[in-house]
Structure 1
Amino acid sequence: MSYYIGIDLGTTNSAICSYDGKETRIWKSPEQNDVTPSAISYDRRGNRLVGQRAYQAAAANPDNAAVFFKRLMGTSTPIHIKALGKDMTPEECSAEILRTLFGYLPEEIRKDPETGTVITVPAAFNQMQRDATTQAANMAGIGRVALMQEPVAAVMSVMKAHNSDGTFLIYDLGGGTLDIAIAESIGGRVNLLSHGGIALCGGRDFDRRVMDSVVKPWLIENFELPEDFAINTKYKRLMRMAALAAERAKIELSAKDTATINLSEAETGCLDENGDEIYLDCDLTRDTFNQLIADRVEQSIQAARDALEKAGLSPFDLERIVFVGGPTNYKPVRDKVCQELGVEGSTEVNPMTAVAEGASLFAESIDWSSKDNSRKTSRGRLEAGGELNLTLNYIARTPSATAKVMVQSKDEIPAGYEFQIDSTDTGWISGRIQLTAGASVTLTLPKPGLNLFRVSAFDASGSPVKLLQNSIIITRTAATVDAIPASYSIAVEVLDRLGGEPALDYLIRAGEPLPKKGKKIFKAAQTLKAGSDETLNIKLWEGEIENPITDNRPIGVLKISGTDFSSWVIPAGADLECAYEIEDSGNINLEVSVPSIGGVFNSGRNFYSRQEGAINYTDAAELVSSKADDTIARVHKIREVVNDPELDEIASKLSSASKLNPATAQAEETQEAMENVLEARKRLAAIRKAHERDIRQSELDEAVKSFRDYPLKYATPDERQAFEYQRQAAQRAIDRNEPGFKANLARIHQSAFAILWRSDPDFVVNMFKNFASEPYRYADKVTYHRLVSQGMTCISQNDIDGLRQVVGQLFRIYAWDDGGEENIASMANILRG
């Protein structure tokens, strides 16, 4: 028997479910709970606890515990475990949860080589987070694994519970993320019309609001505490215990109007700065809690409206809203969503286990023998063979209670021949039917899962006709998901010509159906010799921001290095044949063939995703604050040209990110600020596109004024003439709405830089000081400090040539504003095919 496993790897809680083709079963924790807290704790001897006991222990012993690490997946943020004397990665922590959940299964399921497991990820997860989840599954030692988006799993669970036609909205609010899906069901076949959500919006954020607005102010009012007490190691136990108490009170509000957040002196186990024992005793009312989360709930409702708009629908087109996820147990949230959208709510599925159950159902639809875990085909075909050249075509997988079988024959069938189909499960018999090409029979599928039938044929005298193959297997599924829309656009960065502008060449656009396979032809923009340390870089981005491309989220680079092949040369202009596949889960597989050397390179070996692109949010506050300041500066520049009230909203949302305090900011706070920066840049890109001509004219005017005010006096006659040509070309591109503006504007800036770099020592000194003032931009701190020391020596000795060399080296290791450790060696150097 084959077993299909679904795992909901959650921020706060996780669950595991199996499906045997007929029934689903939730496997309970040792405490006999349907869900297991996503928590790990170690005692001082290094013994590990996972789940409920770990979650309780984590509050009292926070230095030796890991919680909420799902939010850090795809980042390089470490989780320090004091008892082990080492850091754990988010992937290692998630692997412990997966290993524990998988251990709930009986041995015969765990060790069955046919067992396939689907692990769910939020639709809002980016590629780095998906890659991290796959890595965690590999670490956990789970055999055959595929990822699936949580909204798809939720839809499967809904269809099992309520298999009826109509359009419905899945509102999946978990501990860490919000997923919205719009699904249409017709005869048990489901299309996901659109989906959306918010990456950092869930019960964890509600808890933080309570801590920031209720608990911390109460503690500050009643005790003498330092400014940084929220992250001060002395008060770490207090904050974790207080968070647990706040969570308990929040849960109580589901049943009553007021709850008390309380901890005794013994539970907090610490003293304030005056030596007084700290306790906690403050009320949390439902009205207060509703006010604290109101903006988050409103954002979730807007996300639902956005998903409806993408699907071309309005709330009037919905039959119901199905609520999934622990926080939706809080009735005021459900009521608010239903009231605002004007649609009836439904709690027909268990909000805590629906995703795991749906994942197990989806696992059955995967062909686990395929290399890419593609879905099983719904088309069935029986080549009967024997005395007749018969083919029987049928639907092999259907959510319907019936299925049609149709006869096809290349040869003429003798007159008087008949056929019959019998159910080997129930004894049902179709009766004898005239055997002709095009003849059909409708079969009844009496049970979920496999339904077995036997085909018989008879000649004109009623004698059996020998068939070499006579078995038909039809699977009656809970539901069939036909279309899964892509969450994000994925594109390759290319140059439009040698020395030209970077542009995006899309592999898939957001909303296009998954899975998708295709092929792109690119060309090498430079020569790559065998054995060389240089690389050809096929760089991927997630998003649709055309200018600047670095405002998108970096996915990674498939690098073809000279050290990857032992002979020959890849000449500039050589074809790079890129075959790609984007799976149901959104995972990307790339394979690049280079005919000129007969080489093949794939994303399993040459592709990096997180190693060079991940952020460590424990010490990234200064970096994120800098990104926010840069984005606010862009807002102000656009505001000089464009009168749009949305610009004020963007600047306001970025203000908290800009004010991040590196001394007090927590990892989650910094991560949320980074998401706000990325969202602001998307909105800015849309405004820029709508007012592109005016903004470009402003940029050109500013560049021209800057050049004439300063570099012009150092320029040679040829440089002055080149500047004038570039200015005129840029102006023509604006006036005629032609391509080339960015390239000509870039040449003006590059020319100004080259002139000042050559002619003005103060310019070189100021550039060095700018690089040296941003240590958070450098991953290699040792090299950074060495170069800064060298640069200071050059300045003291007035060695400008030496200082230029130092600045050049700092430039090469500087982390540019693309969210990763970008450097010269990773820049895109391929052309459109």
Structure 2
Amino acid sequence: MSTIDYGIDLGTTNSAIAALSGVDTRIVKNNDDQDTTPSAVWVDRRDRVFVGRAARDRAEADPGNTCTEFKLRMGTAGAEKHFAAGGRTMSPEQLSAEVLRSLRADVHQRDGVELDAAVITVPAAFELGACEATRRAAALAGLRTTPLLQEPTAAAYAYGFQSGEDARWLVYDLGGGTFDAAVVQLRDGEFTVLTHRGDPFLGGKLVDWRIVETLLVPAVAAEFGLDDLSRGNPRWTAVLSRLKLAAEAAKIRLSRAPSVDVLLELDLGEPGRHEFEFEVHRADVERLTEPYLIRSVNLCRQALADSRLAPDDLARVLLVGGPTLSPYLREWLADADHGLGVRLDHSQDPITAVARGAAIFAGTQRRPGPAPVPDVPGARLRMAVEYAPIGPDTEPLIAGRLLPAGEDRTPDLVGHRVELISDDPGAVWRSGQYPVGPDGFFAVPAWAERGRRNTYRITVTDPAGTPIDVPHDPITYTVGIVETSPLLTNSIGVGLEGNTRQWLVRRGTPLPAYGRVTLRTAVDVGRGGHGGVLRIPFLEGEHARADRNRQIGRLEVVAAQVSRDLPEGSEVQVRLEIDASRLITARAYVPILDEEFEHVVRLGTETAPAHAVLSAELEVERRRLAAVRQRQRDVASPVAEIDLFRIDDERIEPEVAALVDAARADPDAASAAGRRLLDLRAAVDAVEDALEWPELVSGVEQAIEEVRRLVATDGDAGDRRRLDELSATARRAVDDRDPRLLRVQFSELAEVAVTILDRSGRLDVMVFEDLARRRGELLDRAQGDALLERGRQAVAGGDHATLRNLNVRLRGLLPVPPPPPDPFSTVRRA
């Protein structure tokens, strides 16, 4: 087997593994004869580890020693699970490795294969730290080669592998814990992911928790008098776990019934039986589901807008993930008002589509190392063959080289010929003979039939036409769609002072890719362990403010690594490389040392925030949200109204509040709350920008005109060039509706104005007049009056040097230094 051929969907709720066989895929069933394995781990009192159904079944009775949904904590530091019964602590990577080991065991049992290579899928919305954690989990599980594939891309392979369609699709992938929306374009047997939007904390589990918190918890609390029953109370962890599993089961059953009964026996820590019965109605679950559907559709529309497309430009929407089996979800998506109004395609099993697509992609991936070239005793030649195992062409090119074997190391290949032959039943075909070059190279066009795996052999003849036995592995080729180039789904950059960021690689860049940036050290780094440490945060996201993006790791060069002292302000050149699996390598070159430091990026350094921190941050955002709502009532901005409607429509603030409360006892909720707080901040930022935008544009336009007047009276050629540059950048910021860039231009226009005013001496007069207006604040009135009188004389005499000195002395008499004067006020008064 020269290609990998096995693909794994490592899911939040369930995982699956599939194998490619010809043009078909086959799900490898587990020991329970099921297509999927629950992503659950249980450790018993004897420290034995159980994975899958056996672990999932223990989640109700023994939640303290059972762990589920750990995929959502991949790449987060300090997210370990302690299993008290066995005394074992496991990280999300180690837990995921147990699931992967279980899938490997299924392959060994069913196929007799000792699997050491497989394609593993990850959500397109996964941060890079989570991708790196997935790779580590695979290594722990004994998988040496694990290309990572984004889940929407895998779905496109599953749906379109044998499709001859030229069209645009949208992959709607709603799993247990993550959501991805990807716009895919197919053309001439190749496909490209044009754009992507996603949320790594949007999935079916949110609906389960909404059923628990909105329907079941109030009913249980009322029936048994439990005033403190909540997800955030660690006392009730076991009861909440039981209710969540019941909610998930009820949600699934409601796909085929208008209502279902929940019947549970709860352990409330008191003697006696506590039976709970509750009827869940489909209409209630649909109402609770609606905000998440709205959010998913908004992400789909953003993905389309990024590609400058509309729903009418799509041929169909591909449904992926267990929650897409819901009739209500399908009705919502198909509706032109609420959803997308595009034909839905659910011809593939949405639960196993990602694993099947991963297996197809695995058929394009060769196993590591060079292709084996057999060296048979007694043979004069051996053969190396190179070709793409899957591709869109029906006439692929098979290339290779004849090499010496045995003792003959310089064979004469002039006059040798090769022929490609297919002996497949019903498809017998010969290429005819093609010459071999003097260096042994040859290339032969093949003929491939669609809908099957084509198998070939190569014959070799000498100049006399005598066949020569040259052993080689069978050549297989399948006509099918292939991805042209994966794209980076989120921009990657570094955080800088002033809450700014500088991007290294922007979203939508074809992978593999690299970026380079030159930085300066902010502290002295002393040789041999003393002094500071160069530490720069790596960010992933799209926001202009650094702290609105996700910190996925940091760049570190410690003092012990440097060969001599590194002074503050030293240049550091950072180069970042991202491969097709979105795995990062980085190097930092320090010119003053002429040294390069490799692997200086530590991913997965971000920890789940503590409940107290989340609570404080939530209160800050609530106050900001209330403030912009009040401003909107005064200003009535149509754009701000749309942004506020989205915040309310998606229930962002109430959801964050519920997650923050749950974070008291639930680590998954803490991670999700941190992410959703970032979303809430960014949403409020958008409202602030919309409210400020008209004033900001007007202010910059006025500043440009005022600086132009200053330049005309007191400026020089350099001032005029600088003004032209700032004016052009400001126009671009207005066209792009970029408030951050426009604020920067306003600040730089003010700097130009200050420079010209200072050069002309008018700034000193301006400062003096401001200080004179503050006469009543002076700490020593007599000394102040004397200085003010001397200042008036300096102004009248044009003595700017004396005036500047007096301004310094007057500022020293104020209890609080005054803010810098508005440089444009002088221009307006002139």
Partner of 1:493: 495
Q: Is the 8 A contact 2:163 2:481 kept in 1?
A: no
Is it true that 1:400 corresponds to 2:404 in the alignment? no
Alignment of 1:294 onto 2:294: no
Equivalent in the alignment of 2:458: 454
Are the counterparts in 1 of residues 418 and 436 from structure 2 also a CA contact under 8 Å? no
Q: Deviations over 1:533-568 (max 9, x none)?
A: 42223431112322x322211122111122013x33
Q: What SS is found at the alignment partner of 1:591?
A: strand
Amino acid at match of 2:71: K
Paired residues of 1:624 and 1:674 also in contact (CA < 8 A): no
Q: CA deviation at 1:150?
A: 0.9
What is the one-letter code of the residue matched to 1:589?
T
1:247-396 to 2 correspondences below 5 Å: 247-263=248-264, 267-270=265-268, 277-339=273-335, 340-369=339-368
**Shift in Å at residue 357 of structure 1?**
1.7
Q: Closer, same or farther in 2 for the Cα pair 1:366/1:47, shift >3 Å?
A: same
Counterpart position of 1:675: 675
- Alignment partner, residue 807 of structure 2: none
The 1:300–1:743 alpha-carbon spacing in structure 2 relative to 1, beyond 3 Å, is: farther
The correspondence of residues 127-146 of structure 1 with structure 2, limited to 5 A, is: 127-146=128-147
Deviation, 1:320, is 1.6
SS in 1 for 2:332: helix
Cα gap change, 1:464 to 1:533, in 2 (>3 Å): farther
Report 1:638-657 matches (<5 A): 643=637, 644-646=640-642, 648-649=644-645, 653=651, 655-656=653-654, 657=656
Q: 1:535 aligns with which of 533, 536, 543?
A: 533
Give the AA of the match of 1:452. Answer: Y
Q: Please report how far the alpha carbon of residue 736 of structure 1 lies from its aligned counterpart in structure 2 after TM superposition.
A: 9.7
> By how many angstroms is 1:434 displaced?
11
- Contact 2:197-2:303 within 8 A present in 1 as well: yes
Per the alignment, residue 514 of structure 1 pairs with: 511
Change (3 A) 1:684 1:573: same
Q: Aligned partners of 2:418 and 2:173: how far apart in 1?
A: 48
- Aligned residue in 1 for 2:26: 25
Give the one of 588, 595, 607 matched to 1:592: 588
* Aligned twin of 1:443: 446
Partner of 1:102: 104
How many Å separate the matches in 1 of 2:352 and 2:246? Answer: 24
1:50 and 1:430, CA in 2 relative to 1: closer, same or farther beyond 3 A? closer
Change (3 A) 1:558 1:344: same
Distance in 1 separating the partners of 2:629 and 2:697: 15
| Aligned position for 1:607 | 601
**Corresponding residue SS for 1:682:** helix
Deviations 1:472-502 (A, max 9, x none): 957335421113222111112356xxxxx56
The answer for the alignment partner of 2:74 in structure 1 is 73
**Kept after mapping to 2: 8 A contact 1:626/1:658:** no
Using the alignment, how far apart are the partners of 1:343 and 1:523 within structure 2?
51
C-alpha distance in 1, partners of 2:524/2:199?
A: 43
**Partner Cα distance (1:219, 1:647) in 2:** 37
Deviation at 1:672, TM superposition (A): 3.6
Deviation track 1:571-609 (CA, whole Å, cap 9, x = no partner) reads 556553433221223332212233443433223xx3222
Q: Tell me the SS of whatever aligns to 1:250.
A: helix
Partner Cα distance (2:123, 2:747) in 1: 38
**3-state SS of paired residue (1:514):** coil
Deviates more, 1:104-113 or 1:353-362: 104-113
Report deviation, 1:206: 1.4
CA distance in 2, matches of 1:662, 1:151: 30
Q: Percent identity?
A: 27
Aligned to 2:558: 561
Report the CA distance shift for 1:598/1:664 in structure 2 as closer, same or farther (over 3 A).
closer
Letter in 1 for 2:124: A
Give distance in 2, aligned partners of 1:491 and 1:632.
Answer: 28
1:34 deviates by 0.3
**1:46 Cα deviation from its structure 2 partner:** 3.2
CA distance in 2, matches of 1:51, 1:44: 18
**Shift of residue 36, structure 1, vs aligned partner:** 0.6
1:59 equivalent to 2:67? Answer: no
1:493, 1:538 within 8 Å by CA — same for their partners in 2?
yes
Q: What's 1:551 paired with?
A: 548
Gaps of 5+ in 1: 377-390, 408-416, 496-500, 700-728, 745-833
Whether 1:625 aligns to 2:618 is yes
**Contact 1:621-1:661 at 8 Å conserved across structures:** no
Q: Does 1:215 align with 2:212?
A: no
Q: Which residue of 1 aligns with 2:779?
A: none
When residues 576 and 457 of structure 1 are mapped into structure 2, their CA distance, relative to the original with a 3 A threshold, is farther
1:745-800 residue CA offsets vs partner (Å, 9 max, x unmatched): xxxxxxxxxxxxxxxxxxxxxxxxxxxxxxxxxxxxxxxxxxxxxxxxxxxxxxxx
Q: Comparing 323-332 with 239-248, which one deviates more in the overlay? A: 239-248
Cα distance between partner residues in 1 of 2:323 and 2:253: 12
User: Residue 129 of structure 2 contacts residue 604 of structure 2 at CA under 8 Å; is this kept in 1?
Assistant: yes
**AA of the residue aligned to 1:77:** A
User: How many Å separate the matches in 1 of 2:304 and 2:594?
Assistant: 48
Report if the CA contact (8 A) 2:364-2:389 is conserved: no
Alpha carbons of 1:688 and 1:364: their partners in 2 closer, same or farther (altered >3 Å)?
farther
Deviation at 1:453, TM superposition (A): 5.1
Task: Name the CA shift for 1:494/1:242 in 2 (closer, same or farther; >3 Å).
Answer: closer
**CA–CA distance in 2 between the matches of 1:467 and 1:630?**
81
Q: Distance in 2 between matches of 1:312 and 1:6?
A: 33
The structure with the larger Rg is 2
SS at match of 1:341: coil
Structure 1's 558 and 425: CA in aligned 2 closer, same or farther, altered over 3 A?
farther
Measure the CA separation in 1 of the matches of 2:612 and 2:100: 28
Mapped partners of 2:292, 2:431: distance in 1: 58
Which secondary structure state, in structure 2, belongs to the residue aligned with residue 145 of structure 1? coil
Shift of 1:610: 2.5
Return 5+ residue gaps in structure 2 as ranges: 372-383, 401-414, 701-725, 731-740, 753-830
Pairwise CA RMSD of aligned residues?
4.3
- Residue 13 of structure 1 and its aligned partner are, at CA, apart by 0.7
- The whole-number CA distance in structure 1 between the counterparts of 2:186 and 2:461 is 38
The verdict on how the C-alpha distance between 1:270 and 1:505 changes in structure 2, with shifts beyond 3 A counting, is closer
- With normalisation by structure 1, the TM-score equals 0.71
Q: Which amino acid aligns with 1:540?
A: F
CA distance in 2, matches of 1:633, 1:742: 32
> Is the Cα–Cα contact under 8 Å of residues 555 and 609 in structure 1 kept in the other structure?
yes
Q: Distance in 2 between matches of 1:432 and 1:118?
A: 37
Contact kept? 2:233, 2:665, Cα under 8 Å: no
Partner AA of 2:317 in structure 1? I
The 8 Å contact of residues 391 and 478 in structure 2, kept in 1 or not, is answered as yes
Paired with 2:743 and 2:333, the residues of 1 have a C-alpha distance of 48
SS of 1:557's equivalent in the other structure is strand
* Shift, 1:617, TM fit: 5.7
Letter paired with 2:551:
P
Q: CA deviation at 1:37?
A: 0.8
Q: Deviations over 1:688-720 (max 9, x none)?
A: 556468469999xxxxxxxxxxxxxxxxxxxxx
Letter in 1 for 2:9: D
User: Partner of 2:770 in structure 1?
Assistant: none
Q: Distance in 1 between matches of 2:457 and 2:421?
A: 4
CA distance in 2, matches of 1:167, 1:405: 31
**Compared CA separation, residues 126 and 448, structure 1 to 2 (3 A):** same
